[in-house]
Amino acid sequence: MAPPVTRRKRVTKSPEDRRAALVRGAAKVFREKGFESATVAELAEAGEVAKGTFYLYFDSKDQLLGAIWEEYVDGFLQATRERLEESEDWWPTLDRLLRALVEHAVTNAELHRIVYGSANAKALDLCRSSNRRVVDLVGDFVERGAQAGAFEACDIRLVCRMLFYAADGLLDDMISRGEDIDPEAVVTAVRELTHRGLGGPPVPSEPAPAAP
């Protein structure tokens, strides 16, 4: 007798898993093809769902792009919270945060270009909202540090806003121009401006490269 045919067990994904797969697949498609050129059929295929199933989760590719940016925003905020909750070793903690935020932006530069190039209202609103929350978190931290004598400024909240948006504007300009970004150079410049703005110690110079 012929051996019984073994049927592959069908794996049923949960709605959360299907949505997550669509978001992951769309991020790859948008990077490769750009937002305008990508079709819903391609996004559905990348997410391993039928085109009709796509619309059970997202009304349009604009909404899907907003969901991808929302994940980026959540990572951005999580990085901020983690660094600020590490300790109250004021300047080292703030320096680590500045590095984390610059590196997060550089790592996600392509997504940044796609979102800003698409004029996606939901994504842009999420960006503005996340920026405000980051500024509030940093402002709370710096205010506590000022009370402990670590930071000094005429108006802590105002200076924090100015410093954040200066760094954010620099990164936005570099990313939108498609520049080859040196994260270390940006981190050093942002740290130097922050130390001067909040009365911190001089930023140590990077060690010179060893002679060959």
Domains of the chain, residue spans: 14-58, 61-197
Among 171, 24, 177, 34, CA closest to 114: 34
pLDDT less than 50: residues of the chain: 8, 10, 207-212
Q: Residue 27: its pLDDT value, please?
A: 87
Q: Residue 112: its pLDDT value, please?
A: 82
Q: What is the DSSP code (8-state) at residue 108?
A: T
Torsion of CA 179, 184, 189, 191, to 10 degrees: 140
Domain 61-197 belongs to what topology?
Tetracycline Repressor; domain 2 (1.10.357)
Angstrom distances, CA of residue 165 to CA of 24, 132, 151, 158, 187:
29, 10, 19, 11, 14
- CATH superfamily, domain 14-58, is Homeodomain-like (1.10.10.60)
Q: Residue 55: its pLDDT value, please?
A: 93
Stated pTM of the model: 0.75
Region of residue 199 (phi > 0: left; psi between -120 and 50: alpha; otherwise: beta): left
Among 23, 134, 35, 138, CA closest to 69: 23
Identical fold between 14-58 and 61-197: no
Q: Residue 3: its pLDDT value, please?
A: 59
